[in-house]
């Protein structure tokens, strides 16, 4: 068992106790941060490839965690957007084309903002019901 710093314990606890909308927001922020780091490192470098791999893993996790029993249409639309982002990241590496990173960043940024807006709207509805 390895020793964990207080900061590591705090970080783990904040993730484990975060509400679902906050977790989704954190995932989008992570994917966007990793894409930015890949762009800085260069997609053809080992480091850049590692950052793209991390961003891709987050996007795959977002796609896999979709729950079509809640809203089939929304899930299908989100799945299409996630698949597009995955393909754009792959294309960026395959063709050394930074436009793929820009396209994925744009889509993920829009989705992150939409989730923030949804969370704010839900909070306002909850406040008005109280």
Each domain of the chain, given as residue ranges in start order, spans 20-129
Work out whether the CA dihedral 55, 56, 58, 59 comes out positive or negative. Answer: positive
* Residue 62, CB-side half-sphere exposure with 13 Å CA sphere: 31
Per residue in 22-42, pLDDT tens?
Answer: 899 999 999 999 999 999 999
Per residue in 60-104, pLDDT tens?
Answer: 999 999 999 999 999 999 999 999 999 999 999 999 999 999 999
The pLDDT value recorded for residue 77 is 97
Domain 20-129: CATH architecture, name and number where available = Up-down Bundle (1.20)
The pLDDT value recorded for residue 4 is 72
Please state at what angle helix 98-129 crosses helix 46-64, rounded to 10 degrees. 40
Neighbours of 118 (CB within 10 A): 12
Residue in the structure block whose two tokens are 């904040």? 14
pTM to 2 decimal places = 0.82
Most confidently modeled of 3-7, 19-23, 72-76? 72-76
């Amino acid at each position: 068992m390895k020793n964990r710093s207080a900061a590591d314990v705090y970080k783990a606890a904040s993730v484990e106790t975060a509400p679902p909308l906050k977790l989704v927001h954190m995932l989008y922020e992570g994917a966007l941060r990793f894409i930015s780091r890949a762009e800085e490192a260069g997609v053809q470098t080992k480091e850049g490839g590692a950052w793209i791999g991390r961003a891709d893993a987050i996007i795959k996790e977002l796609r896999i965690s979709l729950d079509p029993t809640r809203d089939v249409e929304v899930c299908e639309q989100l799945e299409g957007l996630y698949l597009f982002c995955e393909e754009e990241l792959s294309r960026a590496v395959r063709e050394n084309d930074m436009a793929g990173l820009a396209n994925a960043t744009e889509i993920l940024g829009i989705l992150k903002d939409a989730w923030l807006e949804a969370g704010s709207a839900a909070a306002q509805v909850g406040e008005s019901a109280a």
